[in-house]
């Protein structure tokens, strides 16, 4: 139960999307006056059902065509069964639409229309459940090896169903005698399969894509709700006719997952994106144009839909082919340019790492020598010589830190720097870096203040990376704060994230430069405050690698306000509550003017 509450809190839109059909169904069943018999109320009700079914069939077909390429490069048993499931939805919805009485085929059997809907989700639910099952290696190999056989059997069954539906419709008339036993039985089986599949989608990591299987779980739950309307709704009334809109909503969610996978692909998937989305839009416009054309042409020429719909769809198909050829050509050009750019970036990255490596080795030797001189291991130094050596050593350390930042930025950009996350007391890291900057602050007679909210939990982060982020942000604030200025540091706990703010009384960052300072080697032109080289770039990339963010704004002190967010799971905060900071807030102040510091619990 706690997991369900957690998911609803994290995804309120999903919860609302799943709740709306159930609420509407409950209202219609509890208030019979609202559940009108719309099927026979108007001829336009059947026309709407026809177009909704046809449109749903087309969306399901597109989902079937692109499911395999969107969910994985290799063909697996899951991708095969998932594609078969969407194909079954498409075929049965098309059969139901064609059998809509007196719309396209005059004299079509109403029982064929009804039973096509009744069989749609039970059959497709079987394939979806098969896709969610964890098959053994031998069975997986057998399914993939004979996939053409399964598809051939499927095509034959679809053809036989079409022959029976329109050649022997009396078979479905006979099945209507067994209402409501068969529909309830098939519906119960379908709902069980779809709910189980949705649960498996949350458990299994389908193709390593968390977003894909999260949305598929929503798809299967919506389909289960659609099936519920056929069981609890009364045939021909609004509670029963909700079936089509719910199924279309589920198919749109499935299509959105496919399109999202194209967007997140390394190579630009513009042609596939257009093929999936553009074909649906063109088909929808073609179907809509049929009614407008029929209204104007039927006045004098008695043209019916059986003639006009194929013509409109053919015109739409030709338009799609022409546009697809153009989009495919542009997509190929974009991918070629992207490949060239990636090769150039790789070569530049290798050159950068080679140069940096060659610089780092002699710099380490220089710093070791400076350290020996500073400790007077090689002889006594005068005060002037000591200060000079200390300054040289500090400059060398700054250069070494810049080199390390450059290497890490290159690795982060290339996606090869793996974060070593562990349970970390981030406030202790922040306080340590705060104390490290006190020496520099005392030189400028600056006042540093560190505060935190109560119950700051330990969270899972890369300890070394986050420590360097704190060091860069604090040193940057102290560096640009004038003499006798102030730096305020605060750590707060918000829902699902820690927020660290660092405010200073320096010159601030102009509004139009607040994004550019995070670019590599950025410098603010015509301003007192200049960019910090790679430091801020490194800090933002580390924050984003942890799923957080780093932004800059204007502080109440008149200078810059850097805001760092680090997300964490609320359940972890509960688990590690015993290692959190005390319940009272914490205030650590260092006043450089009087050269003292004191921790003050509030």
Return the DSSP state at 498.
E
Asked if residues 135 and 143 have their Cβ atoms less than 8 Å apart, the reply is yes
Check pLDDT > 70 for residue 440: yes
Q: What is the pLDDT of residue 296?
A: 61
Angle at 177 between CA 173 and CA 183, to 5 degrees: 95
Tokens standing for 209?
């894509």
Q: What is the pLDDT of residue 147?
A: 86
Euclidean distance between CA atoms 77 and 446, whole angstroms: 66
Check pLDDT > 80 for residue 75: no
Beta bridge partners of 552: 562
What share of the chain has pLDDT > 90, as a percent? 6
pTM for this entry = 0.56
Q: Show contacts of 66-69: CB within 8 Å, 24+ apart.
A: 66/258, 66/272, 66/275, 66/276, 67/258, 69/272
E strand or H helix that includes residue 276: helix 270-301
Check pLDDT > 90 for residue 393: no
Q: What is the pLDDT of residue 292?
A: 65
Check pLDDT > 90 for residue 563: yes
Task: Give which of 128, 295, 109, 338 is closest to 213, Cα–Cα.
Answer: 128
Q: Which residues contact 68 (CB under 8 A, 6 or more apart)?
A: 75, 79, 80, 82, 83
Q: Which residues contact 424 (CB under 8 A, 6 or more apart)?
A: 458, 459, 460, 461, 463, 466
Angle at 455 between CA 452 and CA 456, to 5 degrees: 60
Tokens standing for 265?
């692909």
Euclidean distance between CA atoms 530 and 510, whole angstroms: 11
Check pLDDT > 60 for residue 22: yes
Beta bridge partners of 561: 503, 553
Mean pLDDT of 353-373: 72
Which single residue is written with the structure tokens 């060091």? Answer: 471
Return the DSSP state at 437.
T
**Identical topology for domains 37-263 and 421-601:** no
Asked if residues 524 and 516 have their Cβ atoms less than 8 Å apart, the reply is yes
Tokens standing for 176?
């209507």
241-289, pLDDT tens digit by residue?
888 889 999 988 888 877 776 655 555 566 666 666 667 777 777 666 6
Tokens standing for 6?
């957690």
Q: Which residue has the higher pLDDT, 507 or 370?
A: 507
177-198, pLDDT tens digit by residue?
877 788 888 889 999 999 998 8
The CATH architecture to which 421-601 belongs is: 2-Layer Sandwich (3.30)
Euclidean distance between CA atoms 122 and 61, whole angstroms: 18
Q: What is the pLDDT of residue 594?
A: 43
Q: Which residue has the higher pLDDT, 268 or 230?
A: 230
The CATH number of 37-263 is 1.20.1070
What is the Cα gyration radius of the chain? 33
507-553, pLDDT tens digit by residue?
888 887 878 788 766 655 544 444 445 678 888 888 888 888 998 88
E strand or H helix that includes residue 423: strand 421-424
Q: Is the peptide bond before 208 cis (omega within 30 degrees of 0)?
A: no
CA dihedral 289, 292, 293, 298 (to 10 degrees): 150
* Domain range list for the chain: 37-263, 266-417, 421-601
E strand or H helix that includes residue 461: strand 459-462
């Amino acid at each position: 139960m706690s997991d369900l509450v957690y998911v609803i809190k994290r995804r309120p839109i999903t919860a609302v999307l799943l709740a709306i059909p159930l609420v509407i169904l409950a209202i219609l069943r509890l208030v019979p006056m609202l559940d009108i018999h719309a099927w026979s109320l108007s001829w336009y009700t059947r026309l709407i059902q026809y177009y909704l079914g046809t449109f749903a069939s087309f969306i399901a077909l597109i989902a079937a065509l692109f499911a395999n390429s969107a969910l994985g490069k290799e063909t697996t048993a899951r991708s095969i069964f998932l594609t078969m499931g969407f194909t079954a939805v498409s075929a049965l919805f098309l059969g139901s639409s064609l059998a809509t009485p007196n719309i396209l085929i005059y004299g079509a059997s109403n029982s064929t229309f009804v039973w096509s809907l009744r069989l749609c989700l039970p059959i497709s639910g079987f394939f979806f459940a098969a896709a969610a099952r964890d098959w053994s290696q031998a069975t997986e190999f057998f399914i993939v090896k004979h996939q053409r056989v399964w598809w051939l059997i499927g095509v034959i069954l679809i053809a036989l169903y079409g022959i029976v539906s329109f050649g022997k419709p009396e078979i479905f008339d006979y099945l209507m005698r067994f209402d409501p036993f068969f529909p309830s039985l098939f519906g119960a089986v379908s709902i069980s399969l779809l709910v189980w599949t949705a649960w498996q989608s949350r458990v299994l990591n389908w193709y390593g894509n968390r977003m894909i299987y999260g949305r598929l779980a929503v798809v299967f739950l919506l389909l289960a709700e659609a099936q519920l309307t056929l069981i609890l709704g009364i045939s021909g009334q609004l509670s029963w006719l909700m079936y089509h809109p719910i199924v279309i909503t589920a198919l749109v969610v499935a299509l959105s997952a496919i399109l999202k996978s194209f967007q997140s692909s390394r190579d630009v998937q513009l042609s596939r994106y257009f093929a999936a989305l553009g074909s649906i839009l063109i088909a929808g416009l073609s179907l809509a144009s049929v009614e407008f054309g029929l209204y104007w042409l039927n006045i004098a020429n008695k043209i019916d839909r059986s003639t006009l719909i194929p013509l409109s769809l053919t015109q739409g198909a030709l338009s799609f082919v022409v546009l697809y050829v153009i989009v495919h050509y542009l997509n190929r050009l974009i991918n070629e340019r992207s490949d060239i750019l990636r090769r150039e970036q790789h070569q530049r990255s290798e050159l950068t790492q080679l140069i940096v490596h060659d610089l780092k080795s002699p710099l380490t030797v220089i710093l070791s020598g400076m350290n020996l001189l500073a400790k007077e291991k090689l002889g006594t130094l005068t005060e002037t010589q000591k200060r000079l050596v200390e300054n040289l050593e500090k400059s060398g350390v700054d250069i070494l830190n810049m080199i390390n930042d450059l290497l890490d930025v290159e690795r982060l950009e290339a996606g090869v720097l793996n974060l070593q996350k562990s349970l970390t007391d981030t406030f202790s890291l922040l306080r340590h870096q705060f104390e490290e900057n006190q020496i520099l602050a005392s030189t400028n007679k600056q006042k540093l203040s560190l505060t935190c909210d109560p119950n700051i939990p330990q969270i899972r982060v890369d300890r070394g990376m986050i420590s360097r982020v704190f060091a860069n942000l604090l040193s940057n604030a102290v560096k640009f704060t004038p003499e006798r200025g102030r730096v305020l540091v605060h750590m707060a706990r918000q829902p699902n994230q820690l927020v660290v703010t660092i405010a200073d009384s320096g010159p601030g960052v102009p509004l139009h430069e607040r994004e550019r300072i995070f670019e590599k080697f950025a410098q603010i032109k015509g301003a007192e405050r200049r960019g910090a080289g790679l430091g801020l770039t490194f800090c933002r990339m580390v924050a984003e690698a942890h799923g957080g963010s780093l932004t800059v704004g204007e502080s109440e002190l008149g200078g810059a306000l850097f805001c760092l967010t680090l997300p964490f799971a609320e359940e972890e905060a509960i688990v590690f509550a015993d290692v959190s900071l005390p319940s009272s807030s914490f205030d650590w102040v260092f006043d450089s003017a009087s050269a003292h510091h004191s921790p003050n619990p509030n």
